[in-house]
Amino acid sequence: MTDEGVDFGDNTDAEGLVVDLNNVEDVTFEALPRGMYTCEVDTLEFTYSQNSGNPMWTWTLAVADGEYEGRKLFFHTVFAGNGLPRTKQVISRVAPELMESAFDPVKVADEGSLIGRKVKARVDVRPYEGQQRNNVRDLFAAAEGEDSFV
């Protein structure tokens, strides 16, 4: 048994793996304060909403600098129904080249062309399941060299 609570036995493959998570501390994060943060698009994934089944992008944003550098934020843009005007507004700000003609959101996500793009995220704090959680309210284009601010 290692000090991480994992016993690999005589080999390192998954067969015979035993894990004891009783001594592992839960990870908790305090919500970032409400404000605007300069971020980079860390991942962009095409998925479907669990609630509505609508096609959407799930954006993972990494705070680019400052006290909260590296912290992750999540944002969704929906490609159906009432979500389309908001999606259009966000894309016109942060990826205006996509507004030039019709595009395939699956292909854009798979190509990774927006990964590393600097954005400004408007972040609020809201209660969720008894804890304060961050809610990215909107995305804007970020100027090169722009610092995070709260």
Question: Taking 90 as the threshold, does the pLDDT of residue 137 lie above it?
Answer: yes
Interval 97-122 mean pLDDT: 97
Q: Given CA atoms 87, 92, 97, 99 in this order, what sign does their dihedral have?
A: positive
**Percentage, residues of the chain above pLDDT 90:** 71
Q: Which domains does the chain have, with CATH numbers?
A: 27-141 (2.40.50)
The residue type of 132 is Q
- Two structure tokens written together for 81: 């129904």
Q: What is the pLDDT of residues 25-54, one digit of tens each?
A: 776 678 999 999 999 999 999 999 999 999
Would you state the pLDDT for residue 25? 78
Token pair, residue 1, equals 């048994």
pTM of structure: 0.78
Average predicted confidence (pLDDT) for the chain? 88
**CB-CB neighbours of 54 under 10 Å:** 16
What does DSSP assign to residue 146? P
Q: Give yes or no for residue 149 having a pLDDT over 70.
A: no
